[in-house]
Amino acid sequence: MIHDINKALSAKSSLLINAPTGIGKTDAAISSILEFAIKNGLKAFFLTPKISQHKIAVESLQGIREKFALDISYIDMVGKRNLCINTKVNYIEGESFYRSCESLVKAKKCQFYTKAKEKGAFEKVKNDSYLGHNRFFDSCFDKGICAYEAASDIAKDSMFIIADYSHVLNPYTRASFFKRIGARMENSIIIWDEAHNIISAASSYLSANLSTYSIASAKKELAEMESNIDITYLDFILESIAGKRITNASTGEAYFDKNDIDSFMPSGIEEIVEQLEKTGLEYITKTESKRSSLSHISRFLSALYESDDSCARIVSRKGRDIKLSIIALYPKEPLSVLKEAYSNIFMSGTLLPLNMYRELFDVKTADTVNYASPFPKSNRLCLIDADVSTKYEDRSPDSYKKIAKKICAVKGKVNGNVAVFFPSFDVLDSVYRYMERQVEYIQRRDMRTHAVETMIRGFKSADDSLLFAVMGGSFSEGIDYSNNVIKGIIIVGIPLERPNLELNSRIEYMNKLFNGKGSEYAYIIPGIIRVAQAAGRAIRSESDRAFILLMDKRYDWNMYKSLISNFINISKSSDNLTEIAKFLNQNSRVKSDQSTISSSPEGSSLTV
């Protein structure tokens, strides 16, 4: 892998890597790129989709720095809100936080920002920048220095930056971030960790919505501010569009276009957007609220008039609530930045099929490489339980009871931790209601980073517990459950998106872009990748042993079984409980056959 990365860097090209979890791909990528960046005066980035995934990169750089006594500079950066120590604004959510922060700074009312701008201020906390963003935040808090400003100053002189996807992919903040840290894309090498998440992350920056609820909340804000701004026309717009467009009451959704709104909007949309945003910030300042619906509406109106045919405009009605949504179907504009970088190294344990991602990322000249797992195949047992289903039409209290009973039966065979991953919070909550055994660790909706990290630490230190979490979340991707902390993983259902207008629009749009492959690219393969990511949490080294139970009848269908088999070898069994017990009781360790690491069968010219 080091050889292949060096070859790509020397050619100033990009590389897509599919590599099994646990082989040390983070260490390999960071060490290769660090050496090349030092020699060629370039800046290197390690980007992740979630803050919780920064830790492994920090530990890798710490190890390199200490082992070789290298004076390499690096910084672990997270979003400004996560580094804000000013209690007057750090509780505010969304775009309103950034506006409030900017307002305080301009008014010279943030003493932490002022102190950070004092000469040599960041030198007081520089040594802590090597220990990760949490330790760095604590150090800045103790010294009363704005952690984001200090991090930005340190980043200017750092050759390696650990950050989130948003720092580079978000088209609204990218330019200011790069200007702040004194970097240029053309002089930057970027490692995209868990790269299968890039498309969904980039799409999220371009999407927005407006609902009956948000309008009602905005009216309350205006009343509290004693403002004379009138937004009653927005209610009329929602009712008119819903009445005109939604003709099928059973689906409760339909497409709409800008013309449906233009005829009802007052003139001067830019002035309205600015007025709503300004009043929203005043409301937050006055009431110390976390968010403002006025700012939310302002964001929606901006997104609406910026949207083009790469976005779907959907109106939906549920009960008395009406919602207008602007949804990015394919994030072409955010992805254009990939062509500007000196080199991109895309890597994941589930970046298959590689040619699909090369197309999706629009890096057609990039090389691809796929590495076989060097771990003993006998250390992993994968079985299918086709006796249950989580298809929408099959969901019922009886089916949830059955799934809960099966989970309890499997856990009864295991002396150790078992992680159960679900397709959604709805299914997780429904199964949990019928559990006759205690579930010690349960992922909840909208958990903050600190709560996630605390729960992960607790589960890792446990020795006989159950974890309930969802696929595609912070517990199922990018987390290293090392030292065989998980003895078994149960995958309940397939996390496929529910068919609706948004999904249909995305499939249709991608069919046009990618020669009729919309259903594969936008629906089936993303769901299977979330399964493979969750299943990969258990085997992190050559000595780890764990079973995987795929619990849904669809895993026995040829289409899904063939896709899953790209990542996991599935065994046949007439009695899963007996097979699991037998597997767990095996004391011998079977050495793997010699495996050859070869270039991707999809046409890569790279070989080890």
Q: Where are the beta strands (DSSP E) in 364-457?
A: 367-370, 380-385, 417-422, 441-442
Contacts of 121 (CB under 8 A, 6+ apart): 115, 145, 150, 153
| 518 shares its domain with 572 | yes
Rounded CA-CA distance 266/288 in Å is 30
In order of 339, 357, 453, 473, the CA distances from 468 in angstroms are: 40, 30, 15, 11
Residue 514 CA, chain-centre distance (Å), reads 24
pLDDT of 248 reads 82
Q: What is the mean pLDDT of the chain?
A: 89
| 196 shares its domain with 214 | no
In order of 134, 241, 471, 481, the CA distances from 457 in angstroms are: 15, 49, 19, 10
Q: Is residue 311 over pLDDT 90? A: yes
| 365 shares its domain with 391 | no
- pLDDT digits over 366-395, tens only? 999 999 888 888 899 999 999 999 998 999
Residue that the structure tokens 């467009």 belong to: 245
* CATH number, position 452: 3.40.50.300
Most confident of 20-34, 358-372, 533-547: 358-372
Rounded CA-CA distance 68/71 in Å is 9
| 185 shares its domain with 258 | no
Sheet holding 208-211, edge to edge: 208-211, 321-328, 311-318, 253-255
Confidence of residue 604 (pLDDT cuts 50, 70, 90): very low
Say what percent of the chain tops pLDDT 70.
Answer: 96
Confidence of residue 600 (pLDDT cuts 50, 70, 90): very low
Q: What's the predicted TM-score (pTM) here?
A: 0.82
Domain-located, residue 596: no
Domain-located, residue 269: yes
Q: Is residue 567 over pLDDT 70? A: yes
Say what percent of the chain tops pLDDT 90.
Answer: 64
* CATH number, position 229: 1.10.275.40
| The pair of three-digit structure tokens given for residue 180, joined into one six-digit string | 């702040």
| 243 shares its domain with 190 | no
Q: Is residue 42 over pLDDT 50? A: yes
Of 345, 327, 488, whose CA–CA distance to 419 is shortest? 488
Give me the helix-helix angle, 212-224 and 269-287, nearest 10°: 60
Confidence of residue 606 (pLDDT cuts 50, 70, 90): very low
Q: Fill in the DSSP letter of residue 253.
A: E
Residue 317: count other Cβ atoms within 10 Å of its Cβ.
Answer: 21
Of 206, 205, 210, whose CA–CA distance to 308 is shortest? 206
Domain-located, residue 598: no
Task: Name the domain count of the chain.
Answer: 3
Domain end, chosen from 328, 343, 359, is at 328
Q: Is residue 589 over pLDDT 50? A: no
- pLDDT digits over 257-273, tens only? 888 887 777 777 888 88
pLDDT of 227 reads 92
| 292 shares its domain with 406 | no
pLDDT of 47 reads 96
| 386 shares its domain with 363 | no
| 310 shares its domain with 359 | no
DSSP class per residue in 127-164: GGGGG-HHHHHHHHHHHT--HHHHHHHHHHT-SEEEEE
Domain end, chosen from 370, 396, 429, is at 370
Residue 460 CA, chain-centre distance (Å), reads 22
Domain-located, residue 100: no
The phi and psi torsions of 252 (rounded to 5 degrees) equal: 65, 25
Q: Is residue 432 over pLDDT 70? A: yes
Domain-located, residue 257: yes
Domain-located, residue 595: no
pLDDT of 79 reads 86
Contact by Cβ (8 Å): 175, 182: no
pLDDT of 598 reads 36
Confidence of residue 168 (pLDDT cuts 50, 70, 90): very high
pLDDT of 22 reads 77
| 191 shares its domain with 263 | no
pLDDT of 271 reads 87
| 16 shares its domain with 68 | yes
Rounded CA-CA distance 475/468 in Å is 9
Q: Region 143-160: what's the mean pLDDT?
A: 91
Rounded CA-CA distance 549/570 in Å is 10
Domain residue limits at 250: 208-328
In order of 192, 287, 397, 451, the CA distances from 5 in angstroms are: 13, 52, 51, 36
Most confident of 58-62, 247-251, 354-358: 354-358
Domain-located, residue 601: no
Contacts of 336 (CB under 8 A, 6+ apart): 362
Domain-located, residue 459: yes
| 437 shares its domain with 307 | no
85, amino acid identity: I
pLDDT of 434 reads 97
Rounded CA-CA distance 421/405 in Å is 15
pLDDT of 602 reads 39
pLDDT of 24 reads 86
604, amino acid identity: S
- pLDDT digits over 464-517, tens only? 999 999 998 889 986 778 889 999 999 999 999 888 999 999 999 999 999 999
| 349 shares its domain with 400 | no
Q: Which is it for strands 15-18 and 74-76: parallel, antiparallel or unpaired?
A: unpaired
User: Lowest mean pLDDT: which of 84-98, 309-323, 488-502, 536-550?
Assistant: 84-98
